[in-house]
A = this chain, B = another copy of it.
C-alpha cells in the first residue's frame, strides 16, 4: 500500500507541466469570468497563476487561444453531451436539450465559465466567434444533423433561442418570478416549445 501511495505522489515531469497548464487554465477562467474578455490580459492570467506571461504564450498562444482553451476545458464534461442530446428518441429531444442547457446553468461549476462566455461574447467579436464555434458547431449542428430536415439549422437555433433567453433572464439578469421558479416547472413549459421548434410542422 505504501508503495502505491509513494508512486502516486512521485509525479513524472509531464504531469508536473500538466499541473502548470491546469493552473493557468483555472486562473484564465477566473479572470475571464470576473473581468470579461476585453479587460482580461495574458499578463493578468499569468500573474494569477503565479507564472511568467511567456509560459502562458508557450502553452496556449494568443489571448483568444487561452480563452478558447479555458472555455473548452470548462465544458469538457458537457462536450460529451451533444451525442447524448442528439441520440435517443427523437420525440424527446426537446426535453433532453432543455435539460442539458438549463442543467449546465444550474450547476455552479459550469455556471461561472458560462457567464464568462456570455459576458465576453456580448461585448467582444472575438469571444462571440469562440461562442459560435463551440456552442453552435459542437452542440447545435449535431442536433440539427439528427433532425434531417432542410431547415434543421434554423429550427435548432430558434429552439436554442428559447433556452438562451431563459438562461439570460433567469441566471444573468435575474428577473423574478423566473429567477426563483422551480427548474422542473420551467422545463415542463419550455421542453414542448423546444420540441415544437425541432420537430413540429
Contact = CB atoms under 8 A, between A and B. Distances in A.
A102 B132 CA distance: 21
A58 interface: no
A181 interface: yes
Q: Which of A157, A161, A185 has the most CB of B within 10 A?
A: A161
Interface residues of A, number: 39
A131 interface: yes
Interface in A110-144: 118-119, 121-123, 128, 131-132, 136
A163 interface: yes
Given A36-B123, A119-B122, A189-B197, A157 B169 contact: yes
Contact of A165 (B128, B161, B175): B161
Interface string A160-201: 111111101110111111100100011001100100110000
A166 B172 CA distance: 16
A122 B132 contact: no
A158 interface: yes
A194 B197 CA distance: 12
B163 A128 contact: no
Q: Which of A131, A169, A181 has the most CB of B within 10 A?
A: A169
Contact of A123 (B123, B160, B177, B186): B123
A161 B181 CA distance: 14
Given A131-B173, A154-B177, A154-B185, 15 more contacts: A121-B172, A122-B122, A122-B172, A128-B172, A128-B173, A157-B177, A158-B166, A158-B186, A161-B169, A161-B190, A164-B169, A165-B168, A168-B168, A193-B196, A193-B197
